[in-house]
Amino acid sequence: MASSEGKDIMGRNIKRLLKQHGMTAAKLSEVVGVSTATISDWCNGKTYPRINKIEQMAEYFNVSKSELVEDPDQMANATVSEEPALMAAHWGLDISGLPDDERQRVVDRAKAYVEGLIADYEDRNAK
């Protein structure tokens, strides 16, 4: 997801959340501890935030991490029942028996972990 498309999606989501909360990039930069230039780069799809910054923004905006990193149109069209099957197939886990909120928490954490790995890889190989 740290592809160009993923960065663009993240940027659009951050801009949408800033607007919904009547918030400036300067205020968000204070909240997550980065420069306003970094917020601008995220919003413009130039760079991708590290996982800890995604977690801080999700907590601050009171949204799931997936609401920051995924295309809202695709999220609306995805069926929740596919997620446990995908998790089971990919990681050998069956989370279908978990309550919805716990299953979503597992899915969010797995996605965030993978996003963090991708961001770290891209940071190391950007030189």
C-alpha 100/C-alpha 106 separation (Å) is 10
Average pLDDT, the chain: 79
pLDDT band at 79 (very low <50, low <70, confident <90, very high): very low
Residues 16-33: tens digit of each pLDDT: 999 999 999 999 999 999
How high is the pLDDT of residue 61? 92
Q: What is the mean pLDDT of residues 77-104?
A: 62
Q: Which CATH number fits domain 4-76: 1.10.260.40, 3.60.21.10, 3.40.190.10, 3.90.1150.10?
A: 1.10.260.40
Burial bucket for residue 46 (CB in 10 Å: 0-12, 13-18, 19+):
middle
Residues 44-57 pLDDT 10s:
989 989 888 998 99
Q: What is the mean pLDDT of residues 108-125?
A: 74
Token pair 């609401």 is at which residue? 67
User: Could you write out the DSSP letters of every residue in 36-103?
Assistant: HHHHHHHHTTSS---HHHHHHHHHHHT--HHHHHS-HHHHHHS-TTHHHHHHHHHHS---TTS-HHHH
pTM above 0.75, yes or no: no
Residue spans of the domains in the chain: they are 4-76, 82-125
Name which of 30, 53, 26, 59 is nearest 40 in CA terms.
26
Residue 126's pLDDT is: 66
83 versus 9: which is more confidently predicted? 9
Residues 14, 122: Cα–Cα separation, whole Å: 21
